Amino acid sequence: MTETNTAGREPHDQMLDGNRAAAIGAKLCRVQVVAAYPITPQTPVTEALSEFVERRELPAQYITVESEHSALAVCSSASLVGARTFTATSSHGLAYMHEMLHWVAGTRLPVVLACVNRAIGAPWNVLNDQQDSISQRDTGWIQIYARNNQEILDSVIQAYKIAEKTYLPVMVCYDGYILSHTEMPVEVPSQDAVDRYLPPYRPHTVLDPGNPKNYNLVTLANPRANAEGVLCHGYMEIRYLLQEALQKSRETISAAGQEFGELFGRGYAKLLWEHRMQDAEIAIVTMGSLALEAVVAADALRKQGAKAGVLGLRVFRPFPGRDIAEALRRCRLVVVFDKNVSYGNEGATCNEIKAALYGSGTSAAVSNFIVGLGGRDVKARDLADAVKGALSSLERGALSNECAQWICEI
């Protein structure tokens, strides 16, 4: 059994798998209500949190529910009355939450959810890809993707800071099995330091019979006057405010990451991460744990004389389009590896990166590869070979910009 005591005054290193790192992150944030339904590969998160609650290490309510839809419904109602709430899920569980994902974002509740990325059926598959969280892209949640278990723990702590400042829900995504079930050294911050970083949650709303309010009433598209004749927002204005909050959250995410760095020594001021991008002509773009293979691939390409670097997306929503265009400004080839597909088009991150480059003045060619679906192994060599293939096509003037290539046997 891994040591769970995090009450110490000093940070300490532990060997943690990604699920335990997420659970310890939530515990350090002193979450008050946890509602979650077990699903592979997220289950150990629920086990760890119920263990913390049962051992009275975490003075929280652990609410057992009969579905993921209910889990998020409980989190939303608890958040609405002022509790800091946490849930976690994967794949079909996240799909089952879909309606409540919209509802939580629309109600502007700072719920934090750990999404342990897993393929989605049919056919059945419990291994990793990112189709589950990518499919929830447009629900109004902030999405952060972790590269390793340290980033999982750090991102959960930052997630509460961001969520409670912006009144936006945050999804912390990490690759199933590759991170969730793989132990690596993680520095666990002290409870004192996390308490200094994270002030108590102040709800935007209190359900009080002495001051009755009616939440999420039917709302017409156009503004409408209240009983005093004051014009109030219509549905479209309320939805605009959600979009505006997401757009402005880039600054909050950056500030939360910067402050985290000042307190804990690991800074996250950027929504992207870079490896050897200063003079790179070829950029490998990835999101999540594929970072490791991408870095190895770029270093190998450098040894072979190609000026390669890696641009990683840490935050997918809000999309850091301007930062991406700036980072890719000098590249002649951008190779995007997606562990998801927007069926009928291409990989979702590639699609958005192309949009970010439009009008930015870059002349970079963009090539897209779909990799690692359903846990298909992705090796650094596969990435390097794909980049070399794209480079050779580019130099022959034969690079297809139209459809993604799948690295599989078809």
Nearest alpha-carbon partner for 97 in 49, 162, 42: 42
Which string of DSSP letters, residue by residue, matches 105-157? HHTT---EEEEEE---PSSP--S--SHHHHTTGGGS-EEEE-SSHHHHHHHHH
Binding of residue 227 to other proteins (CB under 8 A): yes
Binding of residue 33 to other proteins (CB under 8 A): yes
* Residue 374 and residue 129 in contact, taking contact as beta carbons nearer than 8 Å: yes
Q: According to CB under 8 A, which one of 1, 9, 226, 410 is a site residue for other proteins?
A: 226
CA distance 97 to 99: 6
Binding of residue 242 to other proteins (CB under 8 A): no
Q: Which is nearer to other proteins, 75 or 159 (CB)?
A: 75
* Residue 192 and residue 9 in contact, taking contact as beta carbons nearer than 8 Å: yes
Q: Which is nearer to other proteins, 73 or 357 (CB)?
A: 73
Binding of residue 70 to other proteins (CB under 8 A): yes
Binding of residue 340 to other proteins (CB under 8 A): no
Residues near 240 by beta carbon (within 8 Å), at least 6 away in sequence: none
Q: Which is nearer to other proteins, 10 or 208 (CB)?
A: 208
Q: Which is nearer to other proteins, 214 or 278 (CB)?
A: 214
Minimum distance, C-beta of residue 200 to other proteins, in the bound complex (Å): 13
Stretch that binds other proteins, among 70-78, 120-128, 274-282, 321-329 (CB under 8 A): 70-78
At residue 374, what is the residue type? G
Minimum distance, C-beta of residue 53 to other proteins, in the bound complex (Å): 11
Binding of residue 119 to other proteins (CB under 8 A): no
Q: With left for phi above 0 and alpha for psi between -120 and 50, is residue 16 left, alpha or beta?
A: beta
Cis status of the peptide bond prior to 41, with omega within 30 of 0: yes
Give the strand pairing for 308-313 and 272-275: antiparallel
Binding of residue 61 to other proteins (CB under 8 A): yes
Binding of residue 393 to other proteins (CB under 8 A): no
Binding of residue 63 to other proteins (CB under 8 A): yes
C-alpha angle 370/175/166, rounded to 5°?
Answer: 105
Q: According to CB under 8 A, which one of 219, 360, 393, 405 is a site residue for other proteins?
A: 219
Minimum distance, C-beta of residue 82 to other proteins, in the bound complex (Å): 6
Phi, psi of 213 (to 5 degrees): -135, 155
Stretch that binds other proteins, among 137-145, 202-210, 361-369, 380-388 (CB under 8 A): 202-210
Contact footprint for other proteins (CB under 8 A): 32-33, 35, 61, 63, 65, 69-70, 72-83, 85, 99-100, 103, 207-209, 211-220, 224-227, 232
